[in-house]
Structure 1
Amino acid sequence: MTTQRSTTTLWRPTGPEELDLVRELDWRAWPPRLPEQPIFYPVLNEDYAIRIARDWNVKHSGVGFVTRFEVETEFLSRYPVQQVGGQTILELWVPAEELDEFNSHIIGRIQVVHEFR
Structure 2
Amino acid sequence: MQTTETTYLFRPVNQAELDKIASSDWTKFPPRLPEQPIFYPVMNEEYAIQIAREWNVPAYGVGYVTKFAVNTNYLKKFKVENVGAEIHNELWVDADELEEFNNNIVGKIEVTKEFR
Q: Does 1:99 find its partner at 2:98?
A: yes
Gaps of 5+ in 1: none
TM-score for both structures, normalised by structure 1: 0.98
* Matched residue type, 1:74: N
- 1:38 aligned partner: 37
Aligned CA RMSD, in angstroms, stands at: 0.5
* Matched residue type, 2:84: G
TM-score for both structures, normalised by structure 2: 0.99
Q: Percent identity?
A: 54
Alpha-carbon offset, residue 87 of structure 1:
1.1
Separation (CA, whole Å) in 1 of partners of 2:32 and 2:7: 22
Alpha-carbon offset, residue 88 of structure 1:
1.0
- 2:2 aligned partner: 3
Per-residue Cα deviation, 1:11-61 (whole angstroms, up to 9, x for no partner): 000100101110111100011111001000000000000000011100011
Q: Does 1:48 find its partner at 2:47?
A: yes
Separation (CA, whole Å) in 2 of partners of 1:9 and 1:80: 16
The secondary structure found in structure 2 opposite 1:107 is strand
Separation (CA, whole Å) in 1 of partners of 2:102 and 2:12: 17
The secondary structure found in structure 2 opposite 1:8 is strand
Q: 4+ runs of 1 displaced by more than 4 Å?
A: none
Per-residue Cα deviation, 1:51-91 (whole angstroms, up to 9, x for no partner): 00011100011100000000000000101000000111000
Give the alignment of 1:1-117 within 5 angstroms.
Answer: 2-117=1-116
* Matched residue type, 1:27: W
The secondary structure found in structure 1 opposite 2:19 is helix
| Aligned length, in residue pairs | 116
Separation (CA, whole Å) in 2 of partners of 1:3 and 1:59: 45
